[in-house]
């Protein structure tokens, strides 16, 4: 069966490496990134900022490429983003597993402000505006944008075949692009990072749409591995017994 990875290539390869060895042995990865990350601007003027907010690993990676200072504390969404910020040299803590949870967490913590949200052009959730309205002054700066990409020929071929295709989808924007592009012939099983990611996928004729229990990479690995087992049972593979 195929594992169709729609994240940027490096992130996709890291995700595949997280899968258990038995699962890796029965899947063939197909890499077809649907978004291309492009930096916006050449520097970030933090001014009187007292802390940074990151709501994605892409934001961390973009900021790390256009900023040299690492002296400000960071408040992050999710464990993966927190780990990414730490690896880039920031003192980072997870403030919540979603944008809404981060807002609630920061309002409880009340860190010294103003804060600066470094985000993508198409980010969802008005983090800076909401925090400011609720008394925690927060500005925002777009540090990257995401250009939509078509499916690769390899992905189109897999989706048009007879072998099951499992596709983990990690963001609402990727989900919308996937739903717009895909007309599956192959049995399609989808793992969605959250309910918001799953919503655009409803229009597809998928055999299964499994929503991760938490919006993080470990939960997505679990969701994908359960879909692999489901596909093996349907196909009468070694897991069927």
The answer to whether 214 and 230 are in contact (CB under 8 A) is no
pLDDT for the residue numbered 240? 40
Selecting from 3.40.47.10, 3.20.20.70, 3.40.50.300, 3.40.50.10090, what CATH number does the domain 2-34+149-240 have?
3.40.50.10090
Q: What is the pLDDT of residue 185?
A: 93
Q: Do domains 2-34+149-240 and 37-146 have the same CATH topology?
A: yes
Note the pTM of the prediction, 2 decimals: 0.77
For 75, phi then psi, to 5°, come to -120, 125
Residue 193 has what pLDDT?
A: 92
pLDDT score at 131: 97
Q: What architecture does CATH give domain 37-146?
A: 3-Layer(aba) Sandwich (3.40)
Q: Which pLDDT belongs to residue 238? A: 46
Q: So where are the chain's domains?
A: 2-34+149-240, 37-146
Instruction: Average pLDDT across each block of 10 residues of the chain; the chain has 241 residues. List them in order.
Output: 94 94 96 92 90 94 92 93 95 92 95 94 82 96 92 96 96 92 94 94 93 91 97 65 35
Task: Report the candidate in 145, 113, 137, 127 with the shortest Cα–Cα distance to residue 55.
Answer: 127
CB hemisphere CA count around 115 (13 angstroms): 29
Cβ atoms within 10 Å of 80's Cβ, excluding its own:
21
CA pseudo-torsion sign 198, 199, 201, 205: positive
- pLDDT of res. 123: 66
């Amino acid at each position: 069966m195929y594992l169709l990875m729609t994240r940027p290539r490096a992130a996709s390869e890291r995700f595949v490496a997280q899968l258990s060895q038995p699962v890796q042995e029965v899947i063939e990865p197909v890499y077809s990134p649907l978004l291309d990350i492009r930096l916006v601007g050449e520097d970030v003027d933090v001014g009187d900022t007292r802390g940074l907010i990151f709501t994605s690993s892409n934001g961390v990676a973009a900021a790390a490429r256009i900023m040299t200072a690492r002296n400000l504390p960071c408040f992050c969404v999710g464990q993966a983003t927190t780990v990414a910020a730490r690896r880039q040299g920031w003192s980072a803590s997870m403030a919540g597993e979603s944008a809404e949870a981060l807002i609630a967490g920061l309002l409880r913590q009340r860190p010294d402000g103003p804060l600066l949200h470094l985000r993508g052009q198409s980010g969802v959730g008005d983090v800076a505006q909401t925090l400011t309205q609720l008394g925690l002054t927060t500005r925002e700066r777009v540090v990257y944008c995401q250009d939509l990409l078509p499916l690769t020929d390899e992905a189109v071929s897999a989706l048009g075949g007879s072998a099951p295709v499992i596709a983990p989808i990690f963001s609402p924007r990727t989900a919308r692009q996937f739903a717009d592009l895909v007309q599956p012939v192959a049995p399609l099983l989808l793992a969605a990072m959250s309910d918001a990611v799953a919503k655009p996928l409803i229009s597809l004729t998928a055999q299964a749409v499994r929503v991760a229990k938490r919006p993080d990479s470990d939960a997505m690995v679990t969701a994908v591995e359960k879909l692999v087992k489901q596909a093996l049972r349907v196909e009468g593979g070694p897991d069927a017994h």
